[in-house]
Chain A
Amino acid sequence: MQALSLAVHIPLVCFGIAFPALVLFAEWRYLRTGDPLYRTLARRWSKIMLALFAVGVVTGTILSFELGLLWPVWMQDFGNVFGLGFTLEGFSFFVEAIFIGIYVYGWDRLRPRLHFLSGLPIALAGITGSFFVISVNAWMNHPGGFALRGGRAVDAHPWSALFGNSFFWAEYVHMYFAGYIVCGFVMAGAYAWAFLRGRRGRYERTALGISLSAAAVASPLQVVVGDWAARDVAVDQPVKLAAMEGLAQTTRGAAEHLLGWYNGHAVVWGIEIPRLLALLAFHNPNATVKGLSIVPLADQPPVNVVRFAFQAMVGIGTLLALLGLVFLYVRVRRRALPSLRLFYWAVLAAGPLSVVALIAGWITTEVGRQPWIVYDVMRVDAAVTGAHVIPVSYGALWLVYLLLAGAVVWLLRRFSRVPLPVSGDDHAG
């Protein structure tokens, strides 16, 4: 159930990280050039931002309910260690909510400079908010900063547990770039659709240029950041890495397998590339990579789920990076948007694909952690609630989220159909 809610919440988080910056960029262009087109753009985007934020607020609330509803024992035993991250995140949320209200409702009322300034805290709070939440997740993956007595955390040092965590920074930067990739490609996808339908006005070109640039810049760099994150996993969570790669036995100079299926002993029907895994994980083709067998079978995560999710993320990520590079190349060499229709079909596909990659990446890290909720400390089944209403509520929640998704799609469609105001007149925006 938590998984379901998170899957709904995470894409919204991406918009929370990246969208305010894009909106502010558009408004900044307006302030610099006085071109009303940018104002219209920023204004329309800010409304979408508000709607997505509202949905993000409610799904975030549900998540905090669920943390307690589903994992009371976990909260009970470890809440003192990681709760601080959420408390601080609450303040980020506050700031975001306050200034988003001022920003969106203040378009006509505040002086332009002041209005622009009122948007800055939104972008900042989006960054800090995700920062705090991911610090909690990083702690779950690489716990520290407490002593264990009788199965319960005592002597907790929340600051060092959350922010002095070596695992945290790579995960955070990875997520931050992912925010821009998802937000940029999803929005660019919407405008690519408009392009394909023949709407190639100045408004669409500008909107596409901004959103696609953000994604195109972030996606190739994400490859490097991902490599960094993977090396942290290799050091701190060898079992997760072994599951991601389907490596049963500890191997020196281990090989990488593309595609294929893990049958319990090895990856079959995959494309084998010798020594690549060792090279990737430790930057040394002769390094020793630990296999799944270093822990008993009961402590191994479901290998194929993790492996498949990981490969999906990497595969899609690579394609997105290529797309980003193509865009940047054309953009810089020809000083124009690409003209090929195929390119816009690719961008259209990149929107949903980037969300898939995001969720796949999240499955990799969370399922790869199984069966632990706090890595190597507490198992998931020990943390779960004793309440019996969970299956019913699970069904109810599915229904609610389906409705929610429908509502968001409908809303965005409505947005795209609102006729554009004539250039220079933005009262309809």
Chain B
Amino acid sequence: MLADVPMVFILIGITAYTVLSGADFGAGLWTLIPFGGRAGAAATRDHTRHSIGPVWEANHVWLIFVLTVAWTCYPVAFGSIVSTLAVPLLIAAIGIIFRGTAYALRGVLDAGSGRGVSQVFALSSVLTPFALATVVGAIATGRVPVGNARGNVLTSWLNPVSVMAGVLAVAFSGYLAAVYLAADARRLSERALVRDFRLRALLAGAVAGALALVGLVVVRFSAAALWHGLTSGAGLALVVISGVAGSGTLVLVFWSRFELARVSAALAVAAVVAGWAAAQEPYLLPGLTVRAAAAGRATLIATIIGVAVGAAVLVPSLALLYTLVLRGRLDPVVTAAPSVAAGAAASVAAGAAAAGGRGPAARERAAWAGAAVSLVGGVGLLIFAGPAWALGIGALLLVACAVTVFALTAVPEEEP
């Protein structure tokens, strides 16, 4: 039981990464083919860029989360997977570097500069989900034996199921992105963009659905075990849920109910991930069950506590981010900054000026004295003290000294 909990974390992480980052990758796909709509190509690119700007880094961290939990809790499986699948993972890694850098460049520079950068961004947005999905395909079809690089370097991930998974991942991310971008465009009242992305969502959704059906056929004929898992018991139920949610999303998009469509699209992905897990259960890799792969009890408990504490911080933070995004609080500003800000600043300034009247020179002298004392104390403790707590106090005193002196010297004196 304990051994399965981190696996649930991993599956949640994979789902979140697919739903959230998948949409960001898909946005890159749409910058590759921005034309054909009513809105101009430049407007389309701008829209995708602004839409993913505040969230893509947070979304990306889900991948890191999955990796860290995987190697902490299932170290043997992790070592086997990454050593056999080094090639696709390296491709994904390079794609991630290019995408992140290209985005940093584009996001900071004003629109319109750097066409080449745009193309790099778009291409790496296609490459990365493809490569990552082939990894999933390889694990799902049992092509990763336990051990250090024991699987085939190429056929482990270049096989019908893996390639199918890769193509499906790209199509699906394009679909998700179109749904999200349509919703964002509606919030910004960009009617031409809403129309474009609604159409793109419908098209991409149809393509993704068709590919999913083809994918099932491929699984039927080339991965018997996986097929059996997906067509019986919980696996079957989840596949059906995914199918219903997926087609439901299409209907919702057709009716332009984009916010609901976001939810049902996420549900469809979650069902696929859970279905994959159900189909493989209880095996993680061939001959290696999840339980056998799990790390020791103390490690599992520590990770679960760590994740629980982390989640307590993370969930409200994420909620805040997405609330701000969905309410349009982080959208680019069209009008000038509100005068409320200026008023508030002025009142703060007035307060500060009043506070500053109480003998700044005396306070400054006191601060220097404090800095000197903490310097002497910190240096003395660090050099001569033995016990750990004394060293800790010494370090704290040094930090205090640094902060005080910094506060005293950082602001240049104003010339009269």
Which residues of A approach B to under 8 Å, CB–CB? 25, 29-35, 47, 50-55, 57-62, 64-69, 72-73, 75-81, 83-84, 86-91, 93-95, 97-102, 104-106, 108-113, 121, 154-159, 166, 169-170, 173, 177, 180, 205-206, 209-210, 213-214, 216-218, 221, 224-225, 227-228, 283, 328, 331-332, 335-337, 385-390, 393, 396-397, 400, 403-404, 407-408, 410-411, 414-415, 427
Contacts and interface: CB of A to CB of B under 8 A. Distances in A.
Contacts of B80: 72, 76
Given A84-B302, A100-B57, 4 more contacts: A50-B107, A54-B103, A79-B78, A224-B383
Q: Which of A61, A66, A110, A337 has the most chain B CB within a 10 Å cutoff?
A: A61
Contacts of A166: 388
A62 B93 contact: yes
A414 B222 CA distance: 52
B306 A87 contact: yes
Interface string B257-280: 000000000000000000000000
Interface string B69-110: 101110110111111101101101110111111011101110
B75 A77 contact: yes
A109 B333 contact: yes
Contacts of A90: 61, 64-65, 68-69, 310
Interface stretch (B40-48, B204-212, B247-255, B405-413): B405-413
Contact of B53 (A72, A105, A210): A105
B137 interface: no
Interface string B385-416: 00010011011001101100110111111000
A388 to B, nearest CB: 7
B159 to A, nearest CB: 18
Given A97-B57, A105-B54, A227 B383 contact: yes
A214 B410 contact: yes
Given A32-B349, A58-B99, A83-B75, A88 B306 contact: yes
B98 to A, nearest CB: 7
Identify the interface centre among A83, A95, A157: most chain B CB within 10 Å of its CB: A83
A84 B303 contact: yes
Given A51-B107, A105-B54, A169-B395, A68 B344 contact: no
Interface residues of B, number: 102
B388 A158 contact: no
B67 A68 contact: yes
A58 B411 CA distance: 34
B307 interface: yes
A75 B330 contact: no
Nearest to A173: B395
A213 B409 contact: yes
Contact of A61 (B64, B318, B346, B391): B64
Contacts of B73: 80, 83
A58 B58 contact: no
B225 interface: no
Nearest to A207: B412
A31 B348 contact: yes
14 contacts: A51-B107, A53-B57, A54-B107, A64-B67, A67-B71, A79-B71, A79-B72, A84-B302, A91-B307, A95-B313, A97-B61, A156-B298, A228-B382, A410-B105
B295 interface: yes
B362 interface: no
